[in-house]
Amino acid sequence: MSNGPRDKRMSIDDVVAELRDGMTIGIGGWGPRRKPMALVRAILRSDLEDLTIVSWGGADVGLLARAGKIRKLVFAFVSLDSVPLEPNFQRARQAGTIPELVELDEGMFQTGLRAAAQRLPFLPMRAGLGSDVLVNQPWISTITSPYAAADGAHEELVAVPALHLDVALVHLNRADKHGNATYLGPDPYFDDLFCMAADRAFVSVEQVVDTAGLTVDTPVQRLLLSRMMVSGVVEAPNGAHFTTCTPDYERDERFQRAYAAAAGGSDEEWATFEQRFLSGDEDAYQAAVAAFAEESK
């Protein structure tokens, strides 16, 4: 019997089978950048409902909102960058179809993940003071520092509550079968915080490689996740589409425009988009995307 690290490879459907109604799920990436979209699409195909989603949101939030999967959303923004406000999210907000919304300052969001990663109930910070975040979220408390400043004053700080996650879903460039994972693009975003704030974390990647291959041809240290943080690894080529996964690929702007047009259009236009791209499994999605790319040349 081997005493080495265990093989954590899973399929997309294996991961979704681990999820349950009512869970709090953190989705890594940043807006339209390196989102675990293959896993999000699998959630769309599932019967899961009443989810709490925690995300610096992009199309992940938009799709789940359009499908009625979200009971509570904790977010700092929901954007596609070149489309400033994600259209399915905008539709859901205007229609009031997300029952509970918690909108946080971006720094507060990060601090909430840090608190959860450290298994603390909250962490203090200045961000949010004097803003409408506290007006709109009156349940978020302030706390007086027990330590006096040089002038003898005791500073009032925001007690940012921990954003504890049942599950984190993230997408990186490479991983080994044990769960060590690396990013190759310009920014790690906060995927490691999502994983450390969660009871379990699942990472999808463009390619599963041998452990030694994680550090080949990388001029700087890019290892972001250790196997201790990760419960499962999914090899999902093009699995962040239509968001970026630099340097493997950039955002598919043509597809994003088509998505945004359908999301902002009539119910019939969305139904046509959904039937073409979202009605089948991940292989069917990738085939439909390839056909769309050929048509768009």
CB atoms within 10 A of CB 32: 24
pLDDT at 163 over 90: yes
Residues 69 and 150 grouped into a single domain: no
Q: Among residues of the chain, what percentage have pLDDT more than 90?
A: 92
Whole-angstrom distance, CA of residue 84 vs CA of residue 88: 12
Residues 179 and 230 grouped into a single domain: yes
Residues 139 and 28 grouped into a single domain: no
Give kind and range of the element (H or E) at residue 45: helix 37-45
Residues 188 and 246 grouped into a single domain: yes
Residues 181 and 234 grouped into a single domain: yes
Residues 140 and 204 grouped into a single domain: no
Q: What are phi and psi of 249, to 5 degrees?
A: -165, 160
Preceding peptide of 89 cis, ω within 30°? no
Give the mean model confidence (pLDDT) for residues 216-226: 75
- Write down the mean pLDDT value for the chain: 95
| pLDDT tens digits, one per residue of 14-35 | 999 999 999 999 999 999 999 9
Q: Which amino acid is at 41?
A: R
Whether 94 maps to a domain, the answer reads: yes
pLDDT at 154 over 70: yes
Residues 77 and 168 grouped into a single domain: yes
Residues 127 and 75 grouped into a single domain: no
Residues 177 and 212 grouped into a single domain: yes
pLDDT at 155 over 60: yes
Residues 71 and 191 grouped into a single domain: yes
Range of the domain at 191: 12-104+163-252
Higher pLDDT, 133 or 219: 133
Give pLDDT, residue 2. Answer: 56
CB atoms within 10 A of CB 236: 26
DSSP assignments along 135-200, one per residue? HH-TTS-EEEEEEE-TTS-EEEEEEEEP--EEEEEEEEEEE-TTS-EE--SS--TTHHHHHHTEEE
Give pLDDT, residue 229. Answer: 95
Whole-angstrom distance, CA of residue 142 vs CA of residue 123: 10
Whole-angstrom distance, CA of residue 65 vs CA of residue 91: 9
pLDDT at 217 over 80: no
Question: Pick from 209, 171, 177: which is nearest to 33 by CA?
Answer: 171
| pLDDT tens digits, one per residue of 73-94 | 999 999 999 999 999 999 999 9
Find the CATH number of the domain harbouring 16. Answer: 3.40.1080.10
Residues 146 and 167 grouped into a single domain: no
Whole-angstrom distance, CA of residue 98 vs CA of residue 187: 30
Instruction: Give CA torsion, residues 280, 283, 289, 292, to 10 deg.
Output: -80
Instruction: Count up the domains in the chain and report the number.
Output: 2
For 266, the 3-state DSSP assignment is coil
Residues 86 and 209 grouped into a single domain: yes
| pLDDT tens digits, one per residue of 258-276 | 999 999 999 999 999 999 9
Give pLDDT, residue 134. Answer: 94
Whole-angstrom distance, CA of residue 211 vs CA of residue 19: 28
